[in-house]
Chains A and B, each alone.
Chain A
Amino acid sequence: DQQVKQNSPSLSVQEGRISILNCDYTNSMFDYFLWYKKYPAEGPTFLISISSIKDKNEDGRFTVFLNKSAKHLSLHIVPSQPGDSAVYFCAASAHGSSNTGKLIFGQGTTLQVKP
């Protein structure tokens, strides 16, 4: 049972436009959500996170939105740059449950930003 899903394996966007990456989850116990960016043959890099008590968190070009009722989060990148081309993983954690200490990852979305 996949608790965190990224239904779009890939996304292609023109440089300067907005990139929107989506993530859905099923476990209502999740209370903290993260986005990681990964280049080939490197470790994931932490990008931005959001707690379940918020619905939006912004850091420079990156904004994460959380819709708890829909169990959906999204990452907006504005403006997109070619250097943003990478695999993006969303992840979730649930403190005080059998998932404590674990990050549950989605399958990833490959973003390509075209010059």
Chain B
Amino acid sequence: DTEVTQTPKHLVMGMTNKKSLKCEQHMGHRAMYWYKQKAKKPPELMFVYSYEKLSINESVPSRFSPECPNSSLLNLHLHALQPEDSALYLCASSQEIAGGPRETQYFGPGTRLLVL
């Protein structure tokens, strides 16, 4: 089973709203990732968690706040977003950050976010 689930599937929010995206995996993976993807572009890495600790922050604006409550869950808290933040937000997981096959990332279906 290589399933990563994400909720909600779609989200519309105003620029003053606070919302959260959720990601879950039950593969025992210890690395989890948030990506942002615009149409016809490759995924852009935002954050990496390894063993529940933030390992990489790709200079993401503070209006995006990640959280890893436990090894199976990853949240992305959103506050005061801009219309240009509208995109598909993808979560992924891998066994660990170890190089090679153990670092193969499995992606969830994504949350389609629209900021008005």
Interface residues of A (CB under 8 A from B): 31-32, 34, 36, 41-46, 49, 51, 87, 89, 93-96, 100-103, 105-108
Contact = CB atoms under 8 A, between A and B. Distances in A.
Name the 9 nearest CB pairs between A and B, nearest first.
Answer: A95-B99, A105-B42, A43-B107, A101-B97, A44-B107, A43-B110, A101-B48, A43-B109, A32-B100
Nearest to B111: A43
Interface residues on B, range: 20 to 34
B90 interface: yes
B90 A44 contact: yes
Given A43-B109, A44-B43, A101-B55, A95 B98 contact: yes
B88 interface: yes
Contacts of A45: 107
B105 A103 contact: yes
Contacts of B109: 42-43
B10 to A, nearest CB: 10
B56 interface: yes
A27 B108 CA distance: 28
A111 to B, nearest CB: 14
A102 B106 contact: no
A44 to B, nearest CB: 5
A87 B40 CA distance: 8
Contacts of A41: 88, 110, 112
22 contacts: A32-B99, A41-B110, A43-B6, A43-B108, A43-B109, A49-B101, A51-B101, A89-B43, A93-B103, A94-B99, A95-B99, A100-B99, A101-B55, A101-B56, A101-B97, A101-B103, A102-B56, A103-B45, A103-B105, A106-B42, A108-B40, A108-B41
